[in-house]
Amino acid sequence: MRNITFYLAILLLSFSRLVAQEMYLNSYTMGEGISVGGDQGYSMVLRGYVQPFLEVKKYTGMEETPLYPRFRMRRLRLRLTGEAAQQKIDYRFQIDLSGTSEIGEGGSDFLLDAWVAYNPTSRIKISFGQRATPTDNRELTMGSQSLQLVERSRLTSAFSSIREFGLFAQGSFRSGRGSYLRPYLAITNGDGLNVFGKDHGGMKVGGRLDFLPFGLFTNLGQFRQVDMVREQAPKLVIGGHTSYNQGMSSRRGRDSGSILYLNDLNQESLPNYLKYGIDFLFKYRGFSALGEFVGSQATVPEDITQRIRNNGTISTNFLVDGMQDVDRYVKGRMMLGKAYNLQMGYLFKNRLSIDGRYTHLRADQHSFLNNGTFYNRPTYYTIGLGYFLAKGYGAKIQMSCTYIQVAEGSNDIFGDPIQGNEWIGRLITSFAF
């Protein structure tokens, strides 16, 4: 609750002048929200959406394997954005009431975005607070309501930190012949969502550079997967990103303090985490294609001699294959390896969308990607079908089917060995105002 109060205080200060003046309705578009404004360039947009979700899983290679259904509210979000044009300030506040995390791996991300930005020029923005980080893969820059398939790729869930707290800067510069360069810089605490308790480890520094050779996308199309506007000229963005997290206390920099190590002086000694990748997005007349590559590696301090268990007790046991090996043990609890994701789809003029995806994870020898219960599944094939009930992103229904190749030594949801592979069917509906 202290987190919410803190962010609300910042945002209330930022738009207090707006609510103090006479307001008027600018516009309302289903899926794009309610826009209100005032004098001197003040404006606010309130939008939200709800996504009921069904997932059914089945294992092959075993006789009489039942279906495992799962119903839940995938997302239930409200977002408030605003701008004070003359003061060169804008802000965002977004919450999720569904009780699930962005990539669906448990946990609850109630507060998603809470940041305030200053725009010293029309081409440069500097923001402070909690927001999506540019050092993740491209799919994480795209709104959840605009996804091409029901869920984000397994590459995203394996390597992304999703949102972080810190200082962010971005620019957009014309570079000749209609092309654009968009650089991004992020300096964060490296712990994912903001924490008000102890801040473990050091800072995380990273950046991204995007190149748009054919100019800007239409209507924020760079940040939406489906080519809803049916770009009349080819649009392409290609970019690279990297980040270095000094002293990480989790598997990938998403959950502060979940994995801790100590030296002989009982001082924290944590591994460093390097992540890098390249990606692209292409759109033209209803066709869209997204390609991503992400890699990671870690360095483990030589002075680690102890680890803190989940119950708070301390252990000096770092056994791997019957041998004491700190380096291999620490890396075995981190997301280390490489991943590739390629997906494409076509939106017909009748608003029917047909989509496909191929995702491959290649784990390092010592990596949590080899965990038999949650990962150890190297290849994913997905086909999807979607129908937009109205023009834009206001209402849609989507379904997908994913075939997963399971590596030897994997378990099902009950911890029992899997003898075959997996099928996952998903259905989601989305309604936005």
DSSP state of 5: H
Q: Which two tokens stand for residue 256?
A: 């502060």
d(CA 155, CA 362): 10
- pLDDT score at 52: 96
- pLDDT score at 109: 74
Element (H, E) at 262: strand 260-262
d(CA 404, CA 39): 55
The whole model's pTM is what?
0.91
Neighbours of 106 (CB within 10 A): 7
d(CA 156, CA 273): 17
What DSSP line would sit under 49-63, residue for residue? EEEEEEEEEEESSST
Burial degree of 60 (CB within 10 A; 0-12, 13-18, 19+): middle
- pLDDT score at 105: 60
> Are the CB atoms for 58 and 426 separated by under 8 Å?
no
d(CA 5, CA 10): 9
How far does Cα 97 stand from its chain's mean position? 17
| Tens-digit pLDDT string for the chain (433 aa) | 445 555 555 555 545 554 555 667 888 888 889 999 877 778 999 999 999 999 999 998 766 678 889 999 999 999 999 998 888 999 999 999 987 776 656 556 789 999 999 999 999 999 999 999 999 999 999 999 999 999 999 999 999 999 999 999 999 999 988 999 999 999 999 888 877 677 788 899 999 999 999 999 999 999 999 999 999 999 999 999 999 999 999 999 998 899 999 999 999 999 999 999 999 999 999 999 999 999 999 999 999 999 999 999 999 999 999 999 999 999 999 999 999 999 999 999 999 999 999 999 999 999 999 999 999 999 999 999 999 998 889 999 999 999 999 999 999 878 888 888 999 999 999 999 9
d(CA 262, CA 300): 12
Give a three-class secondary structure readout of 384-395: EEEEECCCCCCE
- pLDDT score at 22: 66
Q: CA torsion angle for 18, 19, 24, 28 (degrees, to 10)?
A: 90
Q: Which of 280, 51, 76 is nearest to 150 (CA)?
A: 51
Report the Cα–Cα distance between both ends of the chain, in Å, rounded.
Answer: 27
Radius of gyration of the chain (CA): 22
